[in-house]
Amino acid sequence: MSPEEFRRHGYAVIDWLADYSARLESLPVLSQVSPGEVRDGLPAEPPATGQGFDGLLADLDSVIVPGLTHWQHPSFFAFFPASATGPSILGDLLASGLGVQGMLWATSPAATELETLMLDWLARLLDLPAGFRSDSAGGGVIQHSASDAALVALVAALHRVSGGATETDGVAAGRFCVYTSGQTHSSVEKACRIAGIGTAALRKLDVDPDTLAARPEHLAELLAADVAAGRTPALVVASVGATGTGALDPVAELAELAHRYGAWLHVDAAWAGVAAVCEELRWINAGVELADSYCTNPHKWLLTNFDCTAFWVADRSALISALSILPEYLRNSATESGAVIDYRDWQVPLGRRFRAMKLWAVLRWYGAEGLQQHIRKHVALAQEFASWVAADPRFELLAPHPLALVTFAVKGGDDPDETGRRVLAAVNASGKAYLTHTVVNGRYAIRMAIGSVLTERRHVLAAWQAICELLPGED
Ligand code: PLP
């Protein structure tokens, strides 16, 4: 593709995306295709000769778009949001076009230095402890996902509790333990499997039945029992905004216990953490100053397209010592000077994209005020939605909802959980809105997660009306 062809097709792609965004609201939120339909719409054989680009955009319209669930749709209320905004898409396009691979400072100093600065900016915007900033013993890095953040936190924790022995000796079965609540995202269990300590190393903390927050008393019991049995507590993971219900663990109490037993405290604030851009929501940071590591995802609720997990550590040496291997072919004078950051030592892969570019574009475009408005709007909409649920005798709220996730259930009738299942299926099949579910204290719960950039009050109201209209009556 020559530069002129690139320019022509590039304009067409941007036009296509701008049109897509403008017509999103007319599309069903949840894809209506059957399994295999998308694949059957495309040739089984790869092209023998080059085909140009125009046909790809035509296939995009006719085959791919019907097979999309539209995450940017204003009536997307499922899972958690995954925002893609103009500035982040353009920032990402620039990163793709530059095509640099910033595994070492030396392989593109600007990629590393912009990333370090963006993580420092974000730490300031979220009012995170100064000890996470790069001018301290800590620092920040962009990980692919919150799951990667949990994994590297675990590897750093194993390094620290073993005095570095895990790097050479591996992990003996049954020796190390990890603690987190039953509300915590499954990525912590996956991290245990990948790190080789296995699911058996994971201890699930009981939660308070009202707040769904981890009970520190249970953590204290488990830590004492494991130590008495000769095992080593390695990691405690606290959730700030757990996936199912948005539960917030008491970070300070969990951290104090973790540290008493020499364990690492990681905070998973993948969805909720970015809410701290608003001063009035900074209470969610309580206790974070005691954390060894912390992550939040701008790619969920902070206007930045996937992938962009911000991950900070209070002591970068534990992370770097755990992950650094310097083969001959990567040696260079900048690394050996010790004066630069090589982000390859902060993550699982060697190679890395220039993800700081899109974060830079987002932070510059919106500024602190724009980010705050975005979060405040969703929090206010969620509070209004929760008030409708609370006022309707056919429904009940199942969990605290201080941010933009409302978890509720159908009440009454012979089998309210089955009624809840049916109404959710009907709403999603209608294409008018897309919501997902969880289970809270044994109850089938519908989750309303507000966070799409395009969502207005009328979309939230329409979703509520669809839920009420499609609620099956008593048979
Ligand atoms: N942690 C929490 C609290 C989450 O809600 C999620 C995903 O929704 C994750 C971790 C995993 O996120 P990622 O896709 O970035 O690995």
Rg (CA), the chain: 24
> CATH topology for 100-353?
Aspartate Aminotransferase; domain 2 (3.40.640)
Answer whether 319 contacts ligand 1 (Cβ < 6 A): no
Q: Where are the alpha helices (DSSP H) in 66-135?
A: 86-98, 109-125
Whether the CB of 238 sits within 6 Å of ligand 1: no
Q: Which helix (H) or strand (E) holds 460?
A: helix 457-470
Q: How far is it, in rounded angstroms, from Cα 66 to Cα 260?
A: 54
Question: What average pLDDT does this structure show over 326-338?
Answer: 93
Pocket probe mutation, ligand 1, options 79, 181, 187, 274, max atoms within 8 Å of Cβ: 187
DSSP letter (8 states) at residue 61: I
Q: Domain-by-domain residue ranges, the chain?
A: 1-30+69-84+367-475, 100-353
The least confident of 130-134, 165-169, 341-345 is 165-169
pLDDT range class, residue 62, cuts 50, 70, 90: very high
**Tokens (6 digits) for 427:** 């709403």
Question: What's CA 233's distance to the chain center, in Å?
Answer: 26
Span from the CA of 144 to the centroid of ligand 1 (angstroms): 11
- pLDDT value of residue 215: 98
- Mean per-residue pLDDT for 31-51? 95
Q: What is the CATH number of domain 1-30+69-84+367-475?
A: 3.90.1150.10
Nearest ligand 1 atom to alpha carbon 184:
3
Q: Is the pLDDT of residue 1 over 60?
A: yes
Judged on CB neighbours under 10 Å (0-12, 13-18, 19+), 462 is middle
Atom number, ligand 1, closest to the C-alpha of residue 239: 3
| Cα–Cα distance, 163 to 52 (Å, whole number) | 57
Residue nearest to atom 7 of ligand 1 (CA): 243
Q: Is the CB of 80 under 6 A from ligand 1?
A: yes
The stretch 134-156 carries a mean pLDDT of 97
Atom of ligand 1 nearest to the CA of 272: 3
Residue 188 CA to ligand 1 center (angstroms) comes to 10
- pLDDT tens-digit profile of 161-188? 999 999 899 998 899 999 999 888 999 9
Closest Cα partner for 242 from 208, 203, 197, 201? 208
For residue 343, pLDDT over 90 is answered with yes
- Across the range 104-124, mean pLDDT stands at 98
CA distances from 213 to 61, 220, 454 (A): 45, 15, 31
pLDDT value, residue 172 = 87
Q: Long-range contacts made by residues 336-343, C-beta under 8 angstroms, separation at least 24?
A: 340/105, 340/106, 340/109, 340/112, 341/105, 341/112, 341/116, 341/134, 341/139, 342/103, 342/104, 342/105, 342/112, 343/102, 343/103, 343/112, 343/115, 343/141
For residue 218, how far is its CA from the centre of ligand 1 (angstroms)? 24
Q: Is pLDDT at 387 greater than 60 in this prediction?
A: yes
146 CA to middle of ligand 1, Å?
A: 5
pLDDT at 454 over 70: yes
The residue contributing the CA closest to ligand 1 atom 5 is 243
pLDDT beyond 70 at 42: yes
pLDDT category at 101 given cuts 50, 70, 90 is very high
CA–CA separation, 469 vs 475, rounded Å? 16
Measured distance CA(238)–CA(193) in Å, rounded: 19
189 lines ligand 1 (CB under 6 A): no
Query: Which pLDDT tens digit goes with each residue over 188-212?
Result: 999 999 999 999 999 999 999 999 9
What is the spatial distance between Cα 244 and Cα 252, in angstroms, rounded to a whole number? 22
Q: How confident is the model at residue 412 (pLDDT cuts 50, 70, 90)?
A: confident
Ligand 1 test: best mutation among 243, 251, 274, 300, most atoms within 8 Å of CB? 243
Token match 């994994």: residue? 151
DSSP H helical segments within 324-456, as ranges? 333-337, 356-391, 416-430
User: In terms of pLDDT, which residue wins out, 254 or 472?
Assistant: 254
Edge-to-edge strand ranges of the sheet holding 202-205: 139-143, 309-313, 293-296, 264-268, 232-239, 176-181, 202-205
Residue 345 — φ and ψ, nearest 5°? -85, 0
For residues 118 and 360, the answer to whether their CB atoms sit within 8 Å is yes
Across the chain, mean pLDDT equals 96
pLDDT of the residue at 52: 87
Is residue 304 lining ligand 1, measured as CB closer than 6 Å? no
Task: Answer whether residue 474 shows pLDDT above 80.
Answer: no
Residue 475 scores a pLDDT above 80: no
User: Would you say the CB of residue 297 lies under 6 angstroms from ligand 1?
Assistant: yes
Helix ranges (DSSP H) in 208-328: 216-228, 251-260, 298-301, 316-323
Q: 185: CA distance to ligand 1 center in Å? A: 6
Residue 413 has pLDDT above 90, yes or no: no
